Structure 1
Amino acid sequence: MNQLIPFQFANHIAHGAFVVIDEGVAAMMDHRAYPPSVRELIGQALAAMPLLATHTRFEGRINLQFQSEQAIKLLVAQVLQAEAAPLTVRAMAKVSSVVAKDESNLGYRDMLSHGILALMLEPSDSDQPSRQAMVPIDGASLAESLEGYFDQSEQLPTLIRLGATRDRVVGFMLQRLPLEHTKATQESWEHLAILANTLNADELLSAPPETLMRRLFANEDWGFHPPQAIHVACRCSREGISLLLLSLGREEVDKIVAEQGKVEVTCEFCGKAYVYSRSDAATLFVAEGSEQSVLKH
């Protein structure tokens, strides 16, 4: 089950969350032949997005994006947050032709060299302004870069751990709350941070959140909040692609069919291919003509 599981300490010195996603990961990424190191990075980005949404108080979309002419040409991860709905996440990357053929284990900095991670918050309410922050590619992992973002942009000391396998991604975040909102001390936070620093990706992948919390914070007073469901999905659909073909017009689509014997459209985000045979394309425009005829009458 895909879940974001928030927790908080009774003295209000810190809060955090776990992310467990074990459904839909392989289905999203198997449409593209990612090298192992790139696939792992995409999985980590997928796990990070619900953590970034944990304590934001708005409905809308959070984007994490990287673009360059280096090993990874484009990396995009998104989480969509709406009231009374599961968090919806997706992530993808485009890699250089050299990296695409490379099965070696590229390092984090090798993949994202000479670039900046951009974090964008886009509220659903058009009256609210969008926000953007730059996330320097510091440290040896995406988790360390995001820790740096929280430390510099939000002034909230934060510890993040991310793990990914072929079909499962996990995340953990522990974040100090403003000291003026708690009776606890900086020393209380430092004690929790030392305990949390012992957590590694292998443990995060192999043990459930409650076990990890009891193992890490056995002598602390903490509690879980109700979990929130996570849905892994690209927003592409055959209906959307059909509308795209209709917008091209019958003449253009007929030309493609004449040249290729079919129309094939690949989603730029997830890599899923939508194929329309000659008869599919013809039916598409016949249906549109019938609908317009009905509307005229």
Structure 2
Amino acid sequence: MTDQIQRFLFDDTNVRGEIVTLEQAYAEVLDRHDYPPVVNRLLGELLAAVALLTDTVKLDGTLSIEVRGQGALSLLMAESNPGGELRAIARLAEDAPMPGEATGFRELLGEGQIMITLDPREGHRYQGIVALDRDSLAECLADYFAQSEQLPTRLWLAADGQRAGGLLLQRIPDESRNQDSDAWERSVLLADTVKAEELLGLAPLEVLRRLYHEETVRVFEPKPLRFGCTCSRERIAGSLLTLGEAELRDVLAEHGTIDTQCHFCHSRYVFSEQDIEALLAGADEPPPVLH
């Protein structure tokens, strides 16, 4: 199983972790788009990150990470849910020069921010924001946890255009389990030695064995991951309603139908004049908006 996430913990400590590997889901995201190699790599890191965060916060709903910048890359977005479905897109700024393979994270995105949205099936939506003022996506996400969750958290992310992988460590506040006061510092110090080629080329258990062969690590059953898009005709219809009646009628007058496409999976949805009239008639209770 090449696409999976595996949870683990260190016995008698308050340190837990997760390790993720992606290949097929990552390939399906890239196959639907034509991004420069440097963007493909960063999109792979984001896919690994969103899978790690979804499992970490144990959300019964959707978690999305949206990176907005003012550089050549204006948008990166990835989304995950408890069913192990992942999707992601990127958007280059108009008229921006094509970024080279050696373009760095901050150079690629410029000034901006990361928005992490937790959208539970029940309860209120939560959004946290952190600035793009670090040299890597992993460092920015660690800042998010420090500011919003107040839990020491570290991530190690890697991608090469074919595979993506990541490792997450977190210190939880349950001191009653901690019989090893140096466990957090030691586990992070060892994780800092992991190489990108190990995260991408080795099985998760082998990575953990190499890093923590002198530690007592309890490993849980892996969870499979896959590409999956949550778009539907109803959600696209909800998005169309946000354009307003006047604009919808203008488009119909010019084209006769409204032909739209999901940005994530490229599924095509066509709405006739009769479809739009029915939508507008029921606009008092619009469908959910596609984010």
What's the TM-score, normalizing by structure 2?
Answer: 0.80
Q: How does 1:179-194 map to 2 (within 5 A)?
A: 180-194=175-189
1:7 paired residue number: 8
1:178 paired residue number: 173
Residue 94 of structure 1 is aligned with which of 61, 79, 91? 91
Supply the distance in 2 between the matched residues of 1:26 and 1:66 (Cα, whole angstroms). Answer: 21
2:24 paired residue number: 23
Q: Deviations over 1:82-108 (max 9, x none)?
A: xxxx22111111111344634443211
CA RMSD, Structure 1 to Structure 2 (Å): 3.1
Q: Letter of the aligned partner of 1:58 in structure 2?
A: L
Q: Which runs of 5+ in 2 are unaligned?
A: 279-291
Q: Letter of the aligned partner of 1:168 in structure 2?
A: R
1:291 paired residue number: none
Say which one has the larger Rg. Answer: 1
Deviation at 1:57, TM superposition (A): 3.5
Structure 1's consecutive aligned runs of 4 or more residues displaced over 4 angstroms after TM superposition are 237-245, 247-255
CA change 1:64–1:52 in 2 (3 A) is: same
Residue 199 of structure 2 is aligned with which of 193, 197, 204? 204
2:287 paired residue number: none
Q: How many residues align?
A: 271
**Is 1:117 matched up with 2:118?**
no
**Is 1:32 matched up with 2:26?**
no
The more displaced of 173-182 and 189-198 is 173-182
1:294 paired residue number: none
CA change 1:106–1:271 in 2 (3 A) is: farther
The more displaced of 213-222 and 183-192 is 183-192
**Is 1:73 matched up with 2:71?**
no
Percent of aligned pairs sharing the same letter: 31
The question of whether the paired residues in 1 share the 8 Å contact of 2:151 and 2:170 is answered with yes
Supply the distance in 2 between the matched residues of 1:56 and 1:40 (Cα, whole angstroms). Answer: 25
The question of whether the paired residues in 2 share the 8 Å contact of 1:21 and 1:47 is answered with yes
Deviation at 1:195, TM superposition (A): 1.1
Supply the distance in 1 between the matched residues of 2:97 and 2:158 (Cα, whole angstroms). Answer: 22
1:230 paired residue number: 225
The more displaced of 43-52 and 225-234 is 225-234
Q: Which runs of 5+ in 1 are unaligned?
A: 289-297
1:178 counterpart SS class? coil
The question of whether the paired residues in 1 share the 8 Å contact of 2:9 and 2:218 is answered with yes
2:64 paired residue number: 63
Q: Letter of the aligned partner of 1:256 in structure 2?
A: H
Supply the distance in 1 between the matched residues of 2:61 and 2:234 (Cα, whole angstroms). Answer: 23
Supply the distance in 2 between the matched residues of 1:77 and 1:160 (Cα, whole angstroms). Answer: 16
2:56 counterpart SS class? coil
**Is 1:132 matched up with 2:127?**
yes
Residue 169 of structure 1 is aligned with which of 146, 157, 164? 164
2:266 paired residue number: 272
